[in-house]
Chain A
Amino acid sequence: MEIDEKRLIERASSGDPEAFNRLMANHERRMYAVALRLCANREDAQDCLQEAMLRVYRAIGGFKGESSFSTWLYRITMNTCLDELRRRKNKQSASLDDLLDEGWAPADERGSPEGHAVRAEANRVLRQAIRELPEDMRAAVVLRDIQGCAYEEIAQALNINVGTIKSRISRGREKLREKLKQNPELFDTAGV
Chain B
Amino acid sequence: MNCEQLRRLLDAYMDGELSDAQLREMEAHAAACEDCRREFEAAKLVRDALGSLPEEVDVPLEAQASWRRAVREEAGRDAWPDERTAAYVRAKRNSSHRWMRAVYAVAAALVLVLGATAMLGRMPARKAVEPLMVAASEDAASESGAAAASPTQAVVARDGDVEASTLLQDESYAARKAYGAEDFAAACATVEELTEEYGGKFTTDQTGGGWAVYRVELPREYLEDFLSAVSHVGEEQNSESADVAGDTAVVYIEINELKSE
Contacts and interface: CB of A to CB of B under 8 A. Distances in A.
Interface of A: 11, 14-18, 20-22, 28-30, 32-33, 36-37, 46, 49-50, 53-54, 57-58, 102-108, 118-119, 122-123, 126, 141, 145-148, 166, 169-170, 173, 176-177, 180-181, 186-187, 190, 192
A122 B75 CA distance: 45
A148 B52 CA distance: 11
Contacts of B66: 46, 50
Given A145-B47, A181-B42, A28 B55 contact: no
B67 A28 contact: yes
Interface in B103-119: none
Nearest to B8: A170
B55 A146 contact: yes
29 contacts: A16-B240, A17-B71, A29-B56, A30-B56, A32-B57, A32-B63, A36-B57, A46-B66, A54-B74, A57-B71, A57-B75, A102-B57, A103-B53, A103-B54, A103-B57, A107-B53, A119-B45, A119-B49, A122-B48, A126-B45, A145-B50, A146-B55, A170-B11, A173-B11, A176-B46, A180-B46, A181-B39, A187-B42, A190-B44
Nearest to B78: A15
Contacts of A145: 14, 46-47, 50-51
Contacts of A146: 50-51, 53, 55
Contacts of B30: 192
Given A54-B70, A103-B53, 5 more contacts: A15-B78, A28-B67, A29-B59, A33-B54, A176-B46
B71 A21 contact: yes
Nearest to B14: A173
Given A22-B170, A180-B46, A169 B63 contact: no
Contacts of B45: 118-119, 122, 126, 180, 186, 190
A20 B58 contact: no
Given A49-B59, A49-B63, A187 B38 contact: yes
Interface of B: 10-11, 14, 27, 30-31, 37-39, 41-60, 63-64, 66-68, 70-72, 74-75, 78-79, 168, 170, 176, 238, 240
A42 B240 CA distance: 39
B184 to A, nearest CB: 19
A1 to B, nearest CB: 16
Nearest to B11: A170
Nearest to A14: B238
A28 B18 CA distance: 34
A192 B78 CA distance: 61
Contact of A122 (B49, B60, B170): B49
B27 to A, nearest CB: 8
B52 A106 contact: yes
B114 to A, nearest CB: 34
Question: Which 7 A-B pairs give the minimum distances between C-beta atoms?
Answer: A29-B56, A17-B75, A177-B42, A107-B54, A106-B52, A50-B67, A145-B50
A74 B153 CA distance: 44
A123 B176 CA distance: 50
Contacts of A16: 176, 240
A17 B72 contact: yes
